[in-house]
Structure 1
Amino acid sequence: MVMPFLGNAYIPATVRILLAISISALIAPMLPPFPAVDAISFQALILAVEQLLIGFMLALFLSIMIHVMTLFGAMMSMQMGLSMAVMNDPSSGGANPILGLWFMLYGTLLFLALDGHLVAIGILVDSFHLWPIGMGVFDLPLMGLIARFSWIFAAAFMLALPAILAMLVVNLTFGVLSRAAPSLNVFALGFPMSMLMGLLCVFFSFSGLPTRYSDLCLDALSAMYQFIGGTA
């Protein structure tokens, strides 16, 4: 439900249900013995809710990692002068800029190409051994999960920093030009040049993006593993 790609709304619900049943059937023989509780008791309900919360929190690490690319695209869109286009987009209502969706799809494909989804499922299996059923949720390092929300901004800013600096140089150039030649229509010239420079920045960003994003994927998976008591 929460894991990127595997729980995407574009995948039919039947496929997701069959995938969940298949993964459960495959990993069930490898799990440690479950606590002896009545299946229809209140304690069983508490354990089920506990496992759901742990699963949601583990998947949240991956969701934050994928949305780094969305925030990266949003930062570049704002620097390119696409803020008005984002606000007037009838398909998303300004919630998801087109560059953000593009980079998010690119990051998802990179994550799948690196077999990150297989590593995530392996961490899910290990979580039953490192954090057995019944140990509770509040003893988990929840502050580490909260710190990932600041990590998403730092990681996206790190990816977007070269493009932001390049666009800043362009804006400073047109600012000096407007002071040197006040009669020149800087807006008519500046917006197309900012857009062209932004597209060039997007083009050149793809040269080093796979290497940097693979490091972010490794960092997110390591944090996900350490969250359940594993050692990096």
Structure 2
Amino acid sequence: MKKLHNEQLKQQFIRSSGFLNQFSFDVSLDTQLFFFPANSYIVKENQPPTHLFYLVKGKAKLYDTLANGKLALIDFFSPPCFIGEMELVDENQTAFSVQAIDDCWCLALAQKDCQKRLLSDTLFLQKLCIYFAHKNYRNIKASTKNQGYPLSQRLASFILLTQNEGIYREKHTQVAEYLGVSYRHLLYVFAHFVEKGYIIKEKKHYLILDSEKLTQLAAEVKMRSPQE
């Protein structure tokens, strides 16, 4: 994580993301800009975030560590969206890990400075309620898609969602659980994609060779995004 002291870039992100429209009072002077390199953590598990983040560029994933030590993918974030809003509303909320998939830029408000004002801001709370409702709707839609679409289409969409600069690095065990399929079935479809020349295996990751074909496969399955 790196705090950027670039006022011009900060103002550009504020304007393009509609950040100020989320609040009834002017948060410009309190707004900070942070940069998170790919694979770094925006929020670490069991470490409550010190800021309310607003993702303005990049992609991130949310996951939890289960009692058996396995990691479970929960959700994905695309801009613009809040990160850390649950912990802002409920200080006793256990923080999940949020990890940058590619380079991410976030506008941020320090909780210690703004929490009381935010929680008494009716416009902000209204925006959060709508955001929570949309997240719930996405969860329902994702469950429906897992039942109604072939794995090849869903996997193609998932690869495109989680790739970074044409490289796919997600762990098969986590992906199989997230997509609701067996590990063996997932490997079968990956082998099919390799055979078709869509991707190629390179050590611990896959390189995308034909993004157009994957895009065609994924056309009917739009994976979860905060705007859906």
The answer, yes or no, to whether TM exceeds 0.5 is no
Relative to the length of structure 2, the TM-score reads: 0.28
Larger radius of gyration: 1
Q: What TM-score do the two structures reach when normalised by structure 1?
A: 0.28
Q: Comparing both chains, which one has the higher relative contact order based on Cα–Cα distances under 8 Å and sequence gaps of 6 or more?
A: 1
Structure with the bigger percentage of helix: 1
Compare the two structures and name the one with the higher strand fraction.
2
